[in-house]
């Protein structure tokens, strides 16, 4: 990256104090105020969270704030609420009735605004549709949609009737849908004909059809007409959204559900096996997303907030749908690619809508740096007052560029650390309180007891690398892995009994700031998206030519990590450029385009230990440095490494 050379290294250590003007108006206006409230919240987390939860609308108050039988938590026990009512009706029936809830822009440039009143009517209509079609509370509904308002409407309608949604990112392939249907048992799908991306229609309904040819238990598919691309409709299973909503009332009485009623399942990659269905429930999740939006994004009624994530990921769930709407904020939602028609798109939208809070991912920032400073420079970005980052560690070059070229040097940046499993942000600066340094997510949120431990479970000293753990339960935490309590316990709670292990390596500096280093398991972070090496390997091995495959992540300037695959072919198949492309395409077909290996090396064998374990550490070293300096005494056959070393240096020479 060109900025790497131009940024003097001392910039990276610079401490940015919260701007005085910002701090004056912020809910938490100083580090001392943060520390005082944090201390109190950590001594009595239930007290802190109960106070936050009281700001929501409960039909019945809880009798006990937390019931903790590690690793199973119940928050706001006995309380009853409707999550959708909190996000929509509360505002639609009050002063925010005609306030814009969602200002949406389609990629081709079409625009729609939904006020809270209109959002309520849309959501009520779709809730009536779901109920009319027989969808019951407790059932699962799979949502496979582009970034159009109907995606949020469908999620909220599910929440309203107590059905758990399972949103599947629109970039995932048919097999990913099949896996999720099989695991969740969903019998209803909400989708669209397609969505716009980089000037082209990305078909969605045809992918659903492909999935449904393999999985036959789906009873109803409701399809939004977005792109008018040709789709086939199977009668009576498939119906059009617009026909359905036209036939029902715009009023719907929301029932209250138990605080622990399932709100959604979201599948995410782990180090082994198929993606796991992370279960989030109602009262605690809403409290966590509501409260973090309030303090970390410091949301106010005047704000125009924009999170550029897709609703298919946890960021879209927590920081497009539930958190911001629970706060009654106005937000911008965008359908398409950041570089359509060019890299100025986001900045034109910031200018047009007067966005005040902007939340994006480091990978996008790096792409903007590469595209050139002239894109943001051409727009008036002075409305911005706060910037956010999520999904991976933000490298200092990206942080400094974001701060200067987007924030005009005046906006705090909240580098928010969290996970699908945590439901809400756990470590982040508070913009009016926390001194910032490029690259650190800084300090834990209220009620979050985060620590870094060594292998023996002892707390690490300042600047010592260790494993990030959370020592006390929090309301928006994962409740279980759908259908697999044992895997839940084993994955998150077995490294240190009673403590949640995040799977991330981290260290704290002498000021207590958390620096996240990255995953410690076989999970890749490609452009801020989580992918399991095991998933990609199994996709490769499902191709008839492949005998064995190993996948690792290598550093990449734009994506953070890129996917490198090592493939051994079955006898009778020849290594060729054609086959290499076919295998990359095959992974795209099985999982989705984001999982396609960037590098694919053929190898007659994989480096293994004498006991047959693939030495991924060695492959990682090979693609990162081009050679192997580490300990290879356990390696079974060194010629495998020599051969790969040669291939890698040849491929570098070609680039
Ligand atoms: O490794 C951490 C990284 O993303 C992982 C969680 O991925 P996912 O569940 O897909 O959720 C992404 C959006 C919350 C974490 O284990 N990660 C997320 N945010 C940060 C981060 N790494 C460093 N800094 C962050 N701010």
Q: What is the pLDDT of residue 647?
A: 86
What contacts 535, CB < 8 A, 6 or more positions away?
269, 274, 275, 591, 595
Q: Does ligand 1 have an atom closer than 6 angstroms to the CB of 500?
A: no
Q: Mapped to the 3 state alphabet, what secondary structure does 139-194 carry?
A: CEEEEECCCCHHHHHHHHHHHHHCCEEEECCCCECHHHHHHHHHHHCCCEEEEECE
Distance CA 598, CA 643 (A): 20
392-418: average pLDDT: 96
Q: Does ligand 1 have an atom closer than 6 angstroms to the CB of 537?
A: no
418 Cα–ligand 1 center, Å: 5
What contacts 588, CB < 8 A, 6 or more positions away?
173, 595, 596
Q: Does ligand 1 have an atom closer than 6 angstroms to the CB of 193?
A: no
Three-state DSSP at 220 gives: strand
Contact 421, 387 (CB under 8 A): no
**Which protein residue's CA is at the shortest distance from atom 14 of ligand 1?**
419
- Given a cut of 50, is residue 8 above it in pLDDT? no
Distance CA 124, CA 160 (A): 8
* Atom from ligand 1 closest to the CA of residue 415: 26
Contact 595, 562 (CB under 8 A): no
Q: Kindly report, residue by residue over 344-369, the tens digit of the pLDDT.
A: 999 999 999 999 999 999 999 999 99
- Given a cut of 50, is residue 564 above it in pLDDT? yes
493-510: average pLDDT: 96
The crossing angle, in degrees rounded to 10, of helices 45-53 and 283-296 is 90
**Which protein residue's CA is at the shortest distance from atom 12 of ligand 1?**
391
Q: Does ligand 1 have an atom closer than 6 angstroms to the CB of 393?
A: yes
172-185: average pLDDT: 96
393 Cα–ligand 1 center, Å: 8
Q: Does ligand 1 have an atom closer than 6 angstroms to the CB of 440?
A: no
Q: Does ligand 1 have an atom closer than 6 angstroms to the CB of 387?
A: no
Distance CA 577, CA 581 (A): 6
Spell out where 148-255 has E strands.
164-167, 188-192, 194-197, 200-203, 220-224, 238-240
Q: Does ligand 1 have an atom closer than 6 angstroms to the CB of 415?
A: yes
**Which protein residue's CA is at the shortest distance from atom 18 of ligand 1?**
391
Task: Find the Cα–Cα–Cα–Cα dihedral 496, 497, 502, 506, rounded to 10°.
Answer: -30
Q: What is the pLDDT of residue 1?
A: 31
46 Cα–ligand 1 center, Å: 26
**Which protein residue's CA is at the shortest distance from atom 23 of ligand 1?**
393
Distance CA 100, CA 138 (A): 31
Q: Does ligand 1 have an atom closer than 6 angstroms to the CB of 502?
A: yes
**Which protein residue's CA is at the shortest distance from atom 22 of ligand 1?**
392
- Given a cut of 70, is residue 193 above it in pLDDT? yes
Categorize the per-residue pLDDT at 82 as very low, low, confident or very high, splitting at 50, 70 and 90: very high
Lowest mean pLDDT among 267-271, 300-304, 405-409, 650-654: 650-654
Q: Does ligand 1 have an atom closer than 6 angstroms to the CB of 447?
A: no
Contact 441, 292 (CB under 8 A): no
The reply to whether omega before 236 is within 30° of 0 (cis) is yes
527 Cα–ligand 1 center, Å: 11
Neighbours of 10 (CB within 10 A): 7
- Given a cut of 60, is residue 434 above it in pLDDT? yes
What contacts 315, CB < 8 A, 6 or more positions away?
307, 309, 359, 390, 391
Spell out where 454-604 has E strands.
466-470, 480-481, 500-508, 514-519, 523-526, 529-532, 546-556, 560-569, 599-602
Q: What is the pLDDT of residue 650?
A: 84
108-135: average pLDDT: 98
Take residue 1 and report the two structure tokens written for it: 């990256």
Ligand 1: which of 440, 516, 527 to mutate, judged by most atoms within 8 Å of the beta carbon? 516
Take residue 353 and report the two structure tokens written for it: 């809508």
What contacts 120, CB < 8 A, 6 or more positions away?
88, 89, 92, 93
Three-state DSSP at 285 gives: helix
Pairing of strands 262-268, 220-224: unpaired
Lowest mean pLDDT among 191-200, 313-322, 447-456, 565-574: 565-574
| Local structure of residue 614 (DSSP, 8 states) | B
Strand partners, 607: none
Q: Does ligand 1 have an atom closer than 6 angstroms to the CB of 519?
A: yes
Q: Does ligand 1 have an atom closer than 6 angstroms to the CB of 315?
A: yes
Determine phi and psi for 483, rounding to 5 degrees. Answer: 75, 10
Residue with tokens 């990590």: 561
Q: What is the pLDDT of residue 321?
A: 98
- Given a cut of 70, is residue 27 above it in pLDDT? yes
525 Cα–ligand 1 center, Å: 8
310 Cα–ligand 1 center, Å: 15
Gyration radius of the chain over CA positions: 24
**Which protein residue's CA is at the shortest distance from atom 7 of ligand 1?**
419
**Which protein residue's CA is at the shortest distance from atom 13 of ligand 1?**
391
Q: How many helices (H) and strands (E) does the chain have?
A: 24, 30
Q: What is the pLDDT of residue 7?
A: 38
Q: What is the pLDDT of residue 524?
A: 92
Q: What is the pLDDT of residue 12?
A: 61
Q: What is the pLDDT of residue 48?
A: 98
Mark residue 408 as left, alpha or beta (left: phi above 0; alpha: psi -120 to 50; beta: remaining). left
On average, the pLDDT of the chain sits at: 94
Take residue 161 and report the two structure tokens written for it: 């009737």
- Given a cut of 80, is residue 654 above it in pLDDT? no
Categorize the per-residue pLDDT at 4 as very low, low, confident or very high, splitting at 50, 70 and 90: very low
Distance CA 606, CA 594 (A): 24
- Given a cut of 50, is residue 428 above it in pLDDT? yes
- Given a cut of 90, is residue 305 above it in pLDDT? yes
Ligand 1: which of 289, 292, 391, 415 to mutate, judged by most atoms within 8 Å of the beta carbon? 391
**Which protein residue's CA is at the shortest distance from atom 5 of ligand 1?**
419
- Given a cut of 70, is residue 9 above it in pLDDT? no
- Given a cut of 60, is residue 555 above it in pLDDT? yes
Cα distances (Å, whole numbers) of residue 343 to 142, 198, 333, 368, 413: 32, 11, 17, 7, 21
- Given a cut of 50, is residue 282 above it in pLDDT? yes
Lowest mean pLDDT among 62-76, 95-109, 269-283: 269-283
Distance CA 27, CA 386 (A): 14
- Given a cut of 50, is residue 521 above it in pLDDT? yes
Distance CA 398, CA 363 (A): 9
556-579: average pLDDT: 93
* Residue 13, Cβ density class (10 Å: 0-12 exposed, 13-18 middle, ≥19 buried): exposed
The crossing angle, in degrees rounded to 10, of helices 205-214 and 174-184 is 60
pLDDT above 90 covers what percent of the chain? 87
Strand partners, 360: 389
Q: Does ligand 1 have an atom closer than 6 angstroms to the CB of 525?
A: yes
Cα distances (Å, whole numbers) of residue 328 to 81, 82, 111, 169, 305: 17, 16, 21, 25, 11
390 Cα–ligand 1 center, Å: 7
- Given a cut of 50, is residue 2 above it in pLDDT? no
Distance CA 54, CA 38 (A): 19
Distance CA 547, CA 627 (A): 25
Three-state DSSP at 10 gives: helix
- Given a cut of 90, is residue 431 above it in pLDDT? yes
Ligand 1: which of 530, 532, 595 to mutate, judged by most atoms within 8 Å of the beta carbon? 530
Q: Kindly report, residue by residue over 251-264, the tens digit of the pLDDT.
A: 999 999 999 999 99
Domains and their CATH numbers in the chain: 450-519 (2.30.38.10), 527-654 (3.30.300.30)
| Local structure of residue 417 (DSSP, 8 states) | B
């Amino acid at each position: 990256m060109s900025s790497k050379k131009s940024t003097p290294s001392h910039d990276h250590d610079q401490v940015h104090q919260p701007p005085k003007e910002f701090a004056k108006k912020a809910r938490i206006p100083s580090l001392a105020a943060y520390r005082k409230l944090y201390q109190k919240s950590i001594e009595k987390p239930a007290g802190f969270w109960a106070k936050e939860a009281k700001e929501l609308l409960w039909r019945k108050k809880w009798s006990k704030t937390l019931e903790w039988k590690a690793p199973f938590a119940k928050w706001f026990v006995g309380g009853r609420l409707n999550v959708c009512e909190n996000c929509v009706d509360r505002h639609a029936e009050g002063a925010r009735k005609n306030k814009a809830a969602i200002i949406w822009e389609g990629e081709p440039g079409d625009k729609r605004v939904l006020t809270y009143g209109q959002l309520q009517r849309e959501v009520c209509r779709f809730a009536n549709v779901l109920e009319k079609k027989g969808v019951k509370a407790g059932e699962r509904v799979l949502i496979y949609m582009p970034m159009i308002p109907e995606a949020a409407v469908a999620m909220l309608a599910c929440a309203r009737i107590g059905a758990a949604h399972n949103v599947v990112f629109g970039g995932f392939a048919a097999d990913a849908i099949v896996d999720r249907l099989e695991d969740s048992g969903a019998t209803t799908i909400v989708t669209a004909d397609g969505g716009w991306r980089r000037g082209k229609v990305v078909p969605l309904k045809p992918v659903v059809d492909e999935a449904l040819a393999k999985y036959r238990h789906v009873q109803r598919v409701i399809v939004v007409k977005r792109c008018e691309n040709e789709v086939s409709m199977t009668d009576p299973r498939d119906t059009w959204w617009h026909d359905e909503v036209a036939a029902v009332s715009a009023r719907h009485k929301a029932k209250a559900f138990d605080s622990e009623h399932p709100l959604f399942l979201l599948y995410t990659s782990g180090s082994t096996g198929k993606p796991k269905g992370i279960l989030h429930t109602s009262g605690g999740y809403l409290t966590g997303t509501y409260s973090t939006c309030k303090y970390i994004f410091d949301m106010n009624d005047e704000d125009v907030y924009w999170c550029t994530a897709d609703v298919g990921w946890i960021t879209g769930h927590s920081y497009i749908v539930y958190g911001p709407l629970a706060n009654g904020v106005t937000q911008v939602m965008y359908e398409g690619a950041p570089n359509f028609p060019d890299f100025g798109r986001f900045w034109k939208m910031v200018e047009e809508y007067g966005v005040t809070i902007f939340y994006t991912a480091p990978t996008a920032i790096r792409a903007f740096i590469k595209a050139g400073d002239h894109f943001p420079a051409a727009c008036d970005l002075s409305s911005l007052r706060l910037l956010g980052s999520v999904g991976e560690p933000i490298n200092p070059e990206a942080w400094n560029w974001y701060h200067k070229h987007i924030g005009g040097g005046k906006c705090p940046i909240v580098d928010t650390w969290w996970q699908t499993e945590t439901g809400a942000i756990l470590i982040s600066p508070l913009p009016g309180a926390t001194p910032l340094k490029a690259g650190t997510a800084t300090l834990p949120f209220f009620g979050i007891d985060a620590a870094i431990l060594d292998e023996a479970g002892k707390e690490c000293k300042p600047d010592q690398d260790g494993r990030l753990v959370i020592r006390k339960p929090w309301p928006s935490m994962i409740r279980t892995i759908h259908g697999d309590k044992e895997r839940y316990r084993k994955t998150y709670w077995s490294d240190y009994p009673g403590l949640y292990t995040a799977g991330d390596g981290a260290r704290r500096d002498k000021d207590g700031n958390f620096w996240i280093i990255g995953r410690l398991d076989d999970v890749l972070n490609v452009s801020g998206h989580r992918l399991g090496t095991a998933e990609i390997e199994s996709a490769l091995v499902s191709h008839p030519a492949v005998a064995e495959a190993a996948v690792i992540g290598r550093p990449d300037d734009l994506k953070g990590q890129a996917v490198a695959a090592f493939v051994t072919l079955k006898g009778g198949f020849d290594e060729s450029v054609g086959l290499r492309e076919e295998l990359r395409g095959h992974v795209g077909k099985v999982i989705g385009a984001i999982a396609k290996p960037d590098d694919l090396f053929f190898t007659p064998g994989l480096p293994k230990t004498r006991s047959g374990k693939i030495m991924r550490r060695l492959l990682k070293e090979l693609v990162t440095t081009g050679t192997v300096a580490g300990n290879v005494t356990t390696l079974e056959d060194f010629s495998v490494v020599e051969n790969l070393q040669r291939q890698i240096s040849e491929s570098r020479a070609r680039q």
